[in-house]
């Protein structure tokens, strides 16, 4: 899969692309990431990529011409074009999965006060990473790129995805590592027992409990086994008693 990112701040991506799992995925040719500086495409004699908004107002708006010329220089019939923007569809794990199937994803990073709305005539979808305002689309593009690359085949072990949060609308079970006891806090005994069936049961229960505690609304959409359903019912009953 190839991801092309259109930005006027290519230096923001240096650390991101040369660290940890993303770096390895690129070096192993499991993913290709290209940063396209659309300032190089401007026809403005002062090299500008922005201008004040028509109608007045604060700040600067990104020009149509440099972004669209940059886009045209890289777009193919397999490309899917996404504008990063707070007005877009909220990014979630289902979107990560569908984006990871695309051959060529193009992410456009807005900046300053935003971009000329006419750019959206060349865009397939606008994506927001949450209800808050970032300085620019660069961090949002990194979030999208990171979450997709770790799903690509060979990047991390397939089994790692199996119990990850948001699989089947559940959060991942609690995790513990060395030492067995610290500051009076112990690891649950069952995890030290070596009894795989009991460990699986503990993890399944822990996943339901954590989802109930932090993201109760997800549980309503999850496909639960009869055992998990029973735990969910008990948690709900206990909560109702507490609330009385």
Ligand X SMILES: C[S@@+](CC[C@H](N)C(=O)[O-])C[C@H]1O[C@@H](n2cnc3c(N)ncnc32)[C@H](O)[C@@H]1O
Residues contributing to the site for ligand X (CB under 6 A): 84-86, 109-111, 113-115, 128-130, 132-137, 140
Distance CA(83)–CA(73), nearest Å, equals: 17
What end-to-end distance do the CA atoms of the chain give, in Å? 53
Q: Got the DSSP string for 120-138?
A: GGG-SEEEESSSS--SSSH
Cα maximum dimension of the chain = 71
Give the nearer residue to ligand X in terms of CB position, either 31 or 84: 84
- 153, two tokens: 């085949």
Shortest distance in whole angstroms from residue 140 CB to ligand X: 4
Task: Tell me phi and psi for residue 133, to 5 degrees.
Answer: -110, 125
- 159, two tokens: 């089994």
Give the nearer residue to ligand X in terms of CB position, either 104 or 111: 111
Shortest distance in whole angstroms from residue 114 CB to ligand X: 4
Three-class SS state of 29:
coil
Nearest to 226 by CA among 241, 199, 208: 208
Give the nearer residue to ligand X in terms of CB position, either 68 or 140: 140
Question: Strands 32-37 and 2-7: what pairing?
Answer: parallel
Shortest distance in whole angstroms from residue 108 CB to ligand X: 7
Shortest distance in whole angstroms from residue 129 CB to ligand X: 4
With CB atoms as reference, the residue minimizing the distance to ligand X is 110
Give the nearer residue to ligand X in terms of CB position, either 121 or 175: 121
Question: Strands 50-51 and 2-7: what pairing?
Answer: unpaired
Place of tokens 């923007």: 85
Give the nearer residue to ligand X in terms of CB position, either 82 or 235: 82
Shortest distance in whole angstroms from residue 90 CB to ligand X: 9
Give the nearer residue to ligand X in terms of CB position, either 141 or 191: 141
Shortest distance in whole angstroms from residue 51 CB to ligand X: 15
């Amino acid at each position: 899969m190839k991801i092309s990112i259109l930005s006027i701040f290519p230096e923001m991506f240096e650390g991101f692309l040369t660290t940890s799992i993303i770096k390895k995925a690129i070096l192993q040719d499991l993913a290709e990431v290209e940063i396209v500086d659309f300032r190089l495409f401007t026809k403005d004699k002062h090299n500008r990529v922005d201008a004040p908004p028509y109608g007045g107002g604060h700040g600067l708006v990104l020009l149509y011409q440099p972004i669209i010329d940059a886009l045209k220089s890289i777009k193919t019939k397999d490309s899917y074009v996404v504008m990063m923007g707070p007005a877009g569809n909220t990014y979630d794990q289902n979107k990560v999965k569908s984006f990871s199937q695309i051959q060529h994803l193009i992410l456009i990073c807005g900046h300053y006060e935003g971009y000329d709305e006419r750019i959206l005539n060349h865009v397939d979808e606008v994506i927001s990473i949450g209800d808050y305002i970032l300085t620019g689309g660069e961090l949002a593009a990194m979030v999208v790129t990171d979450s997709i690359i770790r799903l690509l085949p060979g990047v991390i072990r397939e089994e790692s995805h199996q119990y990850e949060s948001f699989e089947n609308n559940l959060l991942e079970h609690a995790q513990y590592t060395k030492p067995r006891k610290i500051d009076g806090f112990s690891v649950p005994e069952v995890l030290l027992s070596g009894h795989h069936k009991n460990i699986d049961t503990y993890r399944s229960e822990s996943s339901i409990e954590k989802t109930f505690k932090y993201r109760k609304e997800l549980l309503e959409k999850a496909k639960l086994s009869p055992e998990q359903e029973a735990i969910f019912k008990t948690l709900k009953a206990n909560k109702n008693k507490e609330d009385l």
